[in-house]
Structure 1
Amino acid sequence: MDIQKFVARRKALKISQVKLSTGICTQATLSKFERRGRVPSLAILEQLCGRLGLTVDDLNESRDHSVTQVRAQLDEIERQLMMENYQPVLQALKQVQVAQIEAVPLKMQFYYLSGLLKSLINGAASDVCFDFDQILDDLDQSHETVFTPLAYVGLGVMYSRLAELEKAQFYFEKVHQAIEQLMAAVADQDYLRLLSETVAFARINHNQVVEVKTAALRSRYLRASKRA
């Protein structure tokens, strides 16, 4: 990603970091992006670029690995996974060059999809844990994004398939707790994806307690959305 192009445009327009970030993110987030190459969430990056008259793709040196294209690619993989088309998902994930993905949210989405697929097709537990550890112990250490509870979903699925039900229950309960904590922190689309997928995988693994609790949370959220 050509961050210097971003910085050069901001300076050419004589816009300070404080002014550019107002209403979008903190000045510290913008500073980390410009000085350290710490890419913020795609939603934030798109808004920052928009104020400068740029697109995220404008910052990518290779359009083959642009944020927009990778996002579309991963979204399609996720759609296929939800339809239980495991073989196409496996092949599609092999085509993704994760080392070339610079946007942290997209990296998390990749590892979530990779780990979840392996848990669903009875992949090696060490491989499943490795993928989810990329999220829990590296990319989302503070556990502030939707991908942390989604990683818990995948771990719960894995232990259910290994018939280690106590461990599975532990992770499904962490999903429920994480949903409660994230209710005021993530975007609407993320809410619905998290809640829907949690219910779906709870059903797959016959985890009635988590299914009931999560369905209740989803109903409460949808009612609140209609009132807003």
Structure 2
Amino acid sequence: MIKKRESFGETLKKLRQSQKMTQKMLAEGICAQSLISRVENNEELPNVVILQQICQRLDITMDQLMQFESEEINQRNDQLNKVHHHFIQKNYLKMAQLLKDESLINSLFLDADFQRYDYYLSICAFYVEKKTIKALQLLKKAISYTHKRENPNISILEIQMMADLGRMYQKNGQLEAAFIELERVYQLIDVLPEERKNFELNKIYFYYGELLFEQQRYTEAFEIVEEGMALAQQFCSYYYLEELFTLNGKLLEVDNQSTEATEYFFLANMVQKIVRD
């Protein structure tokens, strides 16, 4: 017996439910709850602007919602999310192992999927294989799927990739290119609406702050690091907090504030222990 394909409304409903969202939660700040109900009952289709906002809240692309069933989307996203979990934990070896899974590779279909996959591959090439040129090539390829510099509506993922590009340039001794990328990324964060920010942006403050520190631009580095520590506090996150505390300690040492520097080195050590435990 041929399985009946899900309707658009059924797909949306199942994706919403899989993320433990009520219709009210999905609709909040986007549209009326009644519209979500009508869409899920296949009585109405939202306009493109509303549909884009709904997809952003569900962390899917419009193409995924239009072309795939909920089970296909959830399976693909679950696999990529497992990789992303290890990315956040900086467990790059485990990432590399998961990226070899043929079921994951065979599930990739959309540009958005290949973009994330190539991004993760570039990180593994850089940190696990220690192949900077390969990493840069993969990362540039990943960015090229969607990124256009004149586009003001840049995604968080694009910001992350550009930041890592700057980091790779820095570690490869291409300092001018590193500054171009990281300064641009920092400016993009500065104008990013608060509701779009997340804890993952914290590494950018560390990347940029460390680059400024290495160039002895200490005053600017202080400001960047303070912003990063404030973002970590805002999201109650330890992500790159150890690195920011350590960098702040180094900056305080340069400023002959040895007591304060020692306090930040102690805090960095405490964060390291908490994260490892």
In the superposition, the TM-score normalised over structure 1's length comes to 0.61
User: 1:98–1:111: structure 2 CA closer, same or farther, 3 Å change rule?
Assistant: farther
Note if contact 1:140-1:148 (Cα within 8 Å) is conserved in structure 2.
yes
1:113 aligns with 2:120: yes
Residue 16 of structure 1 corresponds to which residue in structure 2?
Answer: 44
Which of 8, 12, 27 is 1:6 aligned to? 8
Q: How do 1:1-228 and structure 2 match up within 5 A? A: 5-6=7-8, 13=41, 15-17=43-45, 20-21=46-47, 26=49, 29=52, 40-41=55-56, 43=58, 59-60=68-69, 63=71, 66-95=72-101, 96-97=104-105, 100-102=108-110, 104=112, 106-121=113-128, 122-135=130-143, 137-141=144-148, 142=151, 144-181=154-191, 183-184=192-193, 187-188=196-197, 191-194=198-201, 196-202=202-208, 207-208=212-213, 212-218=222-228
Distance, in Å, in 1 between the alignment partners of 2:194 and 2:115 is: 17
Distance, in Å, in 2 between the alignment partners of 1:98 and 1:139 is: 21
Q: Is there any run of 5+ residues in structure 2 with no aligned partner, and where?
A: 12-37, 237-277
Shift, 1:145, TM fit: 0.4
Shift, 1:152, TM fit: 1.6
Q: What percent of counterpart residues are identical?
A: 12
Distance, in Å, in 2 between the alignment partners of 1:124 and 1:11 is: 47
Shift, 1:112, TM fit: 2.8
User: 1:192–1:138: structure 2 CA closer, same or farther, 3 Å change rule?
Assistant: same
Note if contact 2:169-2:178 (Cα within 8 Å) is conserved in structure 1.
yes
Q: Secondary structure at the match of 1:84?
A: coil
- Larger Rg computed on CA atoms: 2
The residue identity in structure 2 corresponding to 1:144 is: I
User: 1:200–1:70: structure 2 CA closer, same or farther, 3 Å change rule?
Assistant: farther
Superposed CA RMSD in Å reads 4.3
Q: Which has the higher contact order (CA 8 A, sep 6+)?
A: 1
